[in-house]
Chain A
């Protein structure tokens, strides 16, 4: 029998998750009670404080996946592959958040849930690529082959990120232009800007904490697989 044992002590969700949850509650309270409503869109505009940070966090997670995939292709380091997988799964969750909150906001300000414009379509395409990455990982049994194929797909998927961000400049689109992440100064009132930056930092922190949790889950899963199958 294999001598590897499933790690028992390390909690999957540590104290940092509690910190992230408290920060997210703080974001909700600040956005709802301490941030003024936008003049034309009304209270529906407050979706902005979770929609944009979810998108930034998703980009962060997919970028980590691509970076760790490059590290894997270079060094064949198993930990890099596991971290890439963890980031991809968390990235998919955050991309789902973007694709759910966007239509809820769009229905209110555009009068439609969805339109096939460049940014929305490319974001949906990235969601499918990350989903395909995870499905492919589940379908290939041989470890090295799975890591190599999925690493290549992850790098290709991450190339979409700059195109998604710049799509509003490159194509005619319904989606608003960036008002913070742009070369000139942010064109957002101070109180709204503070809420947005607080939300971005909190959600990026939550994203990193979840990637850490998913990485530890990967260790437990792999150890359990080895222990239950005797390393076969």
Chain B
């Protein structure tokens, strides 16, 4: 294994982990807002 392989893996993992977490926040909030909007329009 080349000495650069561990850091390529580590940097990719960090980008996926932190970026993925931020994306998950965005998706979860979007889902909540959508269900609240659906609830509001359904109860009108």
Contact = CB atoms under 8 A, between A and B. Distances in A.
A210 B24 CA distance: 11
Contact of B21 (A42, A100, A210): A210
A220 interface: yes
A13 B39 contact: no
8 contacts: A6-B36, A8-B33, A28-B15, A46-B7, A96-B17, A104-B6, A213-B22, A224-B33
A51 B43 CA distance: 50
B26 A107 contact: no
Please report whether the interface of chain A is mostly helix, strand, loop or mixed according to DSSP.
Answer: helix
Given A12-B25, A50-B10, A206 B18 contact: yes
Interface of B: 2-4, 6-7, 9-11, 13-15, 17-19, 21-22, 25-26, 28-29, 32-33, 35-37, 39-40, 43
Interface of A: 1, 5-6, 8, 12-13, 17, 21, 24, 28, 31-32, 37, 41-44, 46-47, 50-51, 54, 90, 93-94, 96-97, 100-101, 104-105, 107-108, 206, 210, 213-214, 216-217, 220-221, 223-224, 227-228
A62 B27 CA distance: 24
Contacts of B13: 97, 100-101, 104
B33 to A, nearest CB: 6
A80 B25 CA distance: 20
B18 A210 contact: yes
A13 to B, nearest CB: 5
B6 A227 contact: no
